[in-house]
């Protein structure tokens, strides 16, 4: 039997896999021979076909409403509350550029339309007010102090609770730390008054043993440390929830691998635990920096008369004093608007810094 081209001695042809290299070479040659413009045009046509197919299969609005009706109705009350109490009041910032008089009309809303415009006069007045700069100084000092003394405390507590092996002990520790968060500031100040005040437990005990008593609640020089301690006692336990949630997502395989490599407890914490917490720490730090000028209101207002306005006056209480007590609504709105704009700039700057460190922050690049 005569042999044909490409056939084996037994008359059979080789399998197709043997001929694949030649076919691949030919296909590659054809691909190289296609102009780049034609290839790009073909890719654009394919993309446009995919886009038209996606638009053709888009779910109609009524179908999406019927499908997600329960979720939309569940979120609707929260959206309404945000619109009414967070976004709609922003329109009232217009009085910062007016000499607002609530009695020029029948109600406060229509009085905005009849109040005269003064431009940036309220902001110029703010920059020339020494009381404003004193409140700003107290606010910045308290923010730096709380950032240094208060912000690391939830991280340390989360690491300590996470190292507890027994679940019952961990649950009890969490409950004890969470509890002060649900106390009002009135109760928190009362507790500190009963402990550190002039008639408190410590002062009375010292007087019984011949020592002179003390009253930390009326010491203006120590007031900034006092309010920081109150904030730590009240909110540090609640702040560890986010860090514990981040720690729960860390794989135990990482700890086992580090232990097998000879890493001790501190090495595992430094090389495994803290890198897992770094994105959360960066996010919370950005938010905390953005809230730098809002160190508190009720806490300082309750203790204002004990230490004096020079030590306890912050921007929030300053706005309340000039706006509510003195009735200077336009000037108070100007101070509040400037405070909000500075907070936005701080958030953007801190988030940019987080990007430089390789973290996501509040939003991505």
d(CA 351, CA 143): 18
d(CA 96, CA 338): 10
Neighbours of 98 (CB within 10 A): 22
pLDDT, residue 282, reads: 86
251-274 as b/e, with b when 16 or more CB fall inside 10 Å? eeeebeebeeeebeeeebbeebbe
pLDDT, residue 111, reads: 86
The answer to whether 290 and 346 have CB atoms below 8 angstroms apart is yes
Based on its alpha-carbon atoms, the radius of gyration of the chain, rounded to whole angstroms, reads: 33
| Among 255, 245, 313, CA closest to 279 | 245
pLDDT, residue 43, reads: 52
pLDDT, residue 75, reads: 93
| Among 300, 324, 320, 299, CA closest to 310 | 300
pLDDT, residue 233, reads: 92
| Among 315, 159, 307, CA closest to 230 | 307
pLDDT, residue 188, reads: 92
Task: Show the tokens assigned to 224.
Answer: 């900034």
The beta strand positions in the chain, using DSSP E, are none
Q: What's the maximum distance between 2 C-alpha atoms anywhere in the chain?
A: 126
pLDDT, residue 49, reads: 54
The answer to whether 227 and 142 have CB atoms below 8 angstroms apart is yes
Torsion (CA) 218, 224, 225, 229 in degrees, nearest 10: 90
Give 127's contacts (C-beta < 8 A, 6+ positions apart).
none
pLDDT, residue 5, reads: 47
The answer to whether 159 and 250 have CB atoms below 8 angstroms apart is no
Query: What is the residue whose two structure tokens read 């910045």?
Result: 140
pLDDT, residue 13, reads: 52
Torsion (CA) 289, 294, 298, 299 in degrees, nearest 10: 50
Task: Show the tokens assigned to 95.
Answer: 């009085």
State which residues of the chain have pLDDT below 70: 1-57, 165, 365
User: What pTM was computed for the model?
Assistant: 0.73
pLDDT, residue 27, reads: 44
Adjacent-strand bridge partners of 117: 98
pLDDT, residue 125, reads: 92
């Amino acid at each position: 039997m005569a042999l044909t081209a490409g056939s084996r001695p037994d008359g059979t042809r080789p399998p197709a896999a043997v001929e694949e290299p030649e076919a691949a070479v030919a296909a590659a040659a054809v691909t190289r021979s296609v102009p780049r413009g034609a290839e790009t045009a073909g890719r654009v046509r394919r993309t446009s076909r995919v886009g038209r197919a996606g638009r053709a299969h888009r779910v109609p609005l009524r179908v999406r409403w019927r499908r997600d009706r329960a979720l939309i109705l569940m979120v609707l009350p929260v959206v309404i509350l945000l619109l009414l109490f967070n976004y709609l009041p922003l329109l009232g910032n217009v009085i910062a550029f007016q000499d607002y008089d609530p009695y020029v009309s029948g109600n406060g809303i229509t009085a905005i339309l009849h109040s005269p415009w003064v431009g940036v006069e309220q902001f110029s007045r703010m920059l020339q007010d020494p009381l404003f700069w004193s409140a700003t100084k107290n606010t910045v000092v308290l923010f730096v102090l709380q950032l240094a003394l208060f912000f690391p405390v939830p991280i340390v507590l989360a690491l300590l609770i996470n190292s507890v092996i027994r679940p019952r002990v961990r649950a009890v520790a969490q409950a004890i730390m969470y509890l002060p968060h649900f106390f009002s500031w009135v109760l928190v100040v009362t507790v500190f008054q009963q402990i550190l005040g002039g008639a408190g437990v410590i002062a009375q005990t010292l007087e019984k043993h011949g020592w002179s008593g003390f009253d930390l609640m009326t010491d203006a020089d120590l007031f900034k440390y006092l309010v920081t301690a109150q904030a730590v006692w009240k909110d540090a336990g609640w702040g560890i929830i986010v860090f514990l949630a981040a720690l729960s997502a860390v794989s135990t395989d990482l700890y086992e691998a580090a232990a097998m490599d000879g890493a001790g407890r501190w090495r595992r914490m430094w090389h495994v635990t803290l890198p897992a917490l770094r994105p959360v720490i960066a996010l919370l730090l950005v938010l905390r920096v953005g809230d730098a000028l809002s160190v508190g209101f009720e806490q300082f207002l309750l203790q204002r008369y004990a230490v004096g306005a020079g030590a306890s006056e912050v921007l929030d209480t300053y706005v309340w004093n000039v706006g509510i007590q003195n009735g200077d609504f336009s000037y108070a709105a100007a101070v509040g608007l400037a405070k909000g704009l500075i907070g936005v700039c701080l958030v953007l700057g801190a988030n940019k810094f987080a990007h430089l460190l390789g973290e996501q922050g509040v939003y991505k690049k």
